[in-house]
Chains A and B, each alone.
Chain A
Amino acid sequence: MSDEAQRQPAPLGTASAGREAMQAPADALLDQPIHLPRPTVWPAVLASGVTLLAWGVITNVAVSIAGIALFVVAAVGWGREIFHEYRERGGAHDRRGDP
């Protein structure tokens, strides 16, 4: 797209004109659901596992082991979350996948 087309100053209030264009009527397909992943604490738990793993290097190996344990538990929980969503969508594969 060339810059030529954009050199005209836009008058104030053009956004409103754009808004009118937006208000397209809904059609019959509106009831298709929007899929958003559920809230989950596994990312926070996994991050705490990584942090403990690192902290154990300068404190005690037990801290690192606890970190690894948290990491594994969180990774499994995270995986189950994805598995659950997969099942909820009727097992249809999701090309795009969203870890």
Chain B
Amino acid sequence: MASIAGTQPGAVPRPASELALWRWAATVDHKQIGILYLVTTFAFFAIGGIEALLMRIQLATSNEHFLSPSQYNALMTMHGTTMIFLFVMPALIGFANYFVPLLIGARDMAFPRLNALSFWLLLFGGLLLNFSPFAGGAPAAGWFAYAPLTERAYSPGFAVDYWSLGILVTGAGTIASAINLLVTITNMRAPGVSWGRLSMFVWMILVTAVLILAAFPSLTAAAFMLEADRRFGAHFFDTNVNGDALLWQHMFWFFGHPEVYIMALPAFGIVSEVIPVFSRKPLFGYSVMAASGVAIGFLSMTVWAHHMFAVGMGTVANAFFGASSMLIAIPTGIKIFNWLATMWGGTLRLTTAMLFSIGFIAMFFIGGLSGVSLALVPVDWQVTDSYYVVAHFHYVLFGGTMLGVFSGIYYWFPKISGRLLDERIGQLHFWLTLIGFNLTFFPMHLLGLLGMPRRIYTYPADRGWDGYNLIATIGAFVLAISVLVFIWNVLQSWLRGEPAGDNPWEGWSLEWATSSPPPPHNFDRIPVVRGRRPLRDGIVFPGRRHAMSATPAARASAPSNAALGTLIFISSEATFFLFLLIAYISYRDANAGPSAKSALDVGRTAIFSVCLWASSGTVWLAGRRLRRGDGRGFRLFLALTILLGLIFLIGQALEYHTLLDEHVTLARNLFGSTFFTLTGFHGLHVAIGLALLCVLFGLNAAGVVASPHNGALRSIEYYWHFVDAVWIFIFVFVYLWALT
């Protein structure tokens, strides 16, 4: 069977270096970056798994002293953080990296270099986090790092700093990935790949990317506040001076619950690819499957406080978050029924990939049911912070997502490597995983109902918990053996597995329309797709070769990648500022000492604020001049914009100088903490904008960015309007409100 993506003349390969290490370090190929993601995240999975095994040894019997309490706390924290931030989520991003461009018929991601940056931020952030044990001790405050335990008074040293800085660095990479994926899916689809023909995996990645952009800024803002508290003396979560521990919980879970779906939706997507192919039927209810994914994404933004039923939020809040949490079961249930309906009457082929997908449905179903029970507030009050919760989220994240990940690996490994994974070893891997998983986590439901709290390093012998804990520990070692079997399968199959051919499963999505592994440019000719299942419904390859960046580019009105990417970035940044503003507003009346009313000179700030807002007008006029072909006028208005921006920054510097003279600092009180963080981050954004405007000015003067349609120009214009708009809100809520 001929491949459409051979080494036909005309293809320009990426120049490759002789040194393998250099080649990997310098790669911008989405497929190689996808492999880097998968290999790196599985290395972190091994670390997180060993941490879990050590905890299970400690808990195997009562009154065990294999680990000290502090060692146990550190392992527990690192296990959770590693598995969530360094394994599950980035592994799924790895899949997205490799397969989204292939599934939409593109040559690469929209921003290949940004894609590489995302990966390196993950790796270096992960290394930073894992360096903490060598720098005085690993973080031990739990993966959700509740305040005020994480404050310097209660967690001295640098461990929590490594946690928050590691999260910030990897988080920046995750946000960049989400922007890249959104722009790629929006702008890079091959002709004919309409929204209604998009692969379900791509649909779920689309929703995931939106969720990342909506949820991560909350964590980023919270981590910055925590670091401001710990290293710069701020008081955001300092309960001694009216700092609010619950603010951390709200901000963390506003990120944390969508994060569950960030980790689940891509797995839903993988399973939605695997089940139809091995049932020889199309996905049942395609439109509803896509819509239910969107509904899950939307609802997941409204349920965060179900993690906080025990804090005493009041009946109305509890009822709202309980109801919204239960609502999520509806779109999720739709998905489960649709997967079952896809299999119903199909010609099932029980390959390892299919077995893992079926296992996913069964285990995720159990995790979902226990989730619904936890959404009932009185039930939650009984079992909160018990092993019932540990059982629930492991059924979701291991029984659900992890089995989905394994399914994806067995399904797509032939495409990545050109070789099939050994099916016999694969089946052994599946059954060991299923048995080990249930042995480990099912008894935890019972332990939770019997009252065993989570996060305890040991327990007394008279509670009746020993037997269940021993079973769980045995199960954990069975799981460990299953992972070793998997690693063996991957290694030996990669080296001498059976050649896969281009389409070993007789799949019908676009990744199977190219060679295994695909060439650097994915497709010699960009396919034109005629149906939801391209290889079945027919695709054509018009002879014309498209440039990488020219897929459904015929839409002249579509924003450029750079402009769209900037708009998406801005939306995420707006959420970040929203949380800083929420912190300011929520502490406005809890403050003691200098306040906005007593410390700020509103009139003076109004003058330099007008300069900033006026600069939005001048940058717009600059763009207009360029569109009229008036380069000189463009540079004139650009220079005026830069001047007005500089006046604003000088005004802000003068204001800071006055405040510091009056001993109003970040460390003075809650007003100082919130004011300097909010306005400081805004000032940083203005400074970055000014630097970009200067670069734009220089490039235009050199005759480079001279086209009015240039993406860079549009991007900087949007960004500048954004920083000006943010200042409107800051001026209203910080300055004008101070006058009342």
- Enumerate chain A interface residues (CB-CB to B < 8 A): 1, 3, 6-7, 9-19, 21-44, 46-48, 50-51, 54-55, 57-58, 78-79, 81, 83, 86, 91, 93-99
CB-CB under 8 A for A98 and B111, given A3-B284, A38-B15, A43-B28? yes
Q: How far is the CB of B275 from chain A (nearest CB, A)?
A: 13
Is B429's beta carbon under 8 Å from chain A?
Answer: no
Query: What number of B residues sit within 8 Å (CB to CB) of A?
Result: 103
B14 surroundings in chain A (CB, below 8 A):
36-39
CB-CB under 8 A for A9 and B281, given A15-B535, A30-B8? yes
Choose the segment among B119-127, B247-255, B398-406, B633-641 that binds chain A (4+ C-beta atoms closer than 8 Å). Answer: B119-127
Is B603's beta carbon under 8 Å from chain A?
Answer: no
The answer to whether B545 and A36 touch across the interface, beta carbons within 8 angstroms, is no
- Enumerate chain B interface residues (CB-CB to A < 8 A): 1-2, 4, 8-12, 14-17, 22-23, 25-29, 107-108, 110-114, 116-117, 120-121, 123-125, 127-128, 135, 158, 161-162, 165, 168-169, 172-173, 187, 196-197, 227, 231, 280-287, 345-347, 503, 506-508, 512-513, 520-521, 525, 527, 532-545, 547-550, 553, 560-562, 565, 695, 699, 704, 706-707, 709-712, 715
Q: How far is the CB of B174 from chain A (nearest CB, A)?
A: 13
Closest to A18 in B: B535
The answer to whether A51 and B169 touch across the interface, beta carbons within 8 angstroms, is yes
The answer to whether A22 and B550 touch across the interface, beta carbons within 8 angstroms, is no
B1 surroundings in chain A (CB, below 8 A):
16, 19
B346 surroundings in chain A (CB, below 8 A):
9
The answer to whether A26 and B17 touch across the interface, beta carbons within 8 angstroms, is no
The answer to whether A47 and B15 touch across the interface, beta carbons within 8 angstroms, is no
B10 surroundings in chain A (CB, below 8 A):
30-34
Whole-angstrom CA separation of A28 from B1 in the bound complex: 24
Closest to B287 in A: A3
25 chain-A/chain-B pairs, Cβ below 8 angstroms: A1-B287, A10-B536, A15-B506, A15-B512, A21-B539, A22-B539, A24-B543, A25-B543, A27-B544, A30-B9, A33-B547, A35-B547, A36-B112, A39-B14, A39-B23, A40-B26, A50-B169, A57-B165, A58-B161, A58-B165, A58-B231, A83-B704, A96-B187, A98-B110, A98-B548
A1 surroundings in chain B (CB, below 8 A):
196-197, 286-287, 532
The answer to whether B113 and A97 touch across the interface, beta carbons within 8 angstroms, is no
Closest to A42 in B: B113
Whole-angstrom CA separation of A16 from B508 in the bound complex: 9
Whole-angstrom CA separation of A81 from B539 in the bound complex: 35
Whole-angstrom CA separation of A37 from B521 in the bound complex: 11
A96 surroundings in chain B (CB, below 8 A):
110, 187, 549-550, 553, 560-562, 711
Whole-angstrom CA separation of A7 from B172 in the bound complex: 43
The answer to whether B121 and A47 touch across the interface, beta carbons within 8 angstroms, is yes
B503 surroundings in chain A (CB, below 8 A):
15, 19
Q: How far is the CB of B473 from chain A (nearest CB, A)?
A: 36
Partner of B169, one of A14, A41, A54: A54
Closest to A6 in B: B282
B128 surroundings in chain A (CB, below 8 A):
51, 54-55
Whole-angstrom CA separation of A29 from B10 in the bound complex: 10
A48 surroundings in chain B (CB, below 8 A):
120, 124
Q: How far is the CB of A52 from chain B (nearest CB, A)?
A: 9
A46 surroundings in chain B (CB, below 8 A):
117, 120
The answer to whether B113 and A35 touch across the interface, beta carbons within 8 angstroms, is no
Closest to A41 in B: B26
Whole-angstrom CA separation of A14 from B506 in the bound complex: 7
Q: How far is the CB of B614 from chain A (nearest CB, A)?
A: 28
Whole-angstrom CA separation of A17 from B503 in the bound complex: 12
Whole-angstrom CA separation of A97 from B231 in the bound complex: 39
B15 surroundings in chain A (CB, below 8 A):
38-39
Name 5 extra pairs, CB < 8 A, besides A3-B284, A15-B503, A22-B540: A10-B280, A18-B537, A36-B14, A91-B704, A99-B565
The answer to whether B2 and A23 touch across the interface, beta carbons within 8 angstroms, is yes
Q: How far is the CB of B101 from chain A (nearest CB, A)?
A: 12
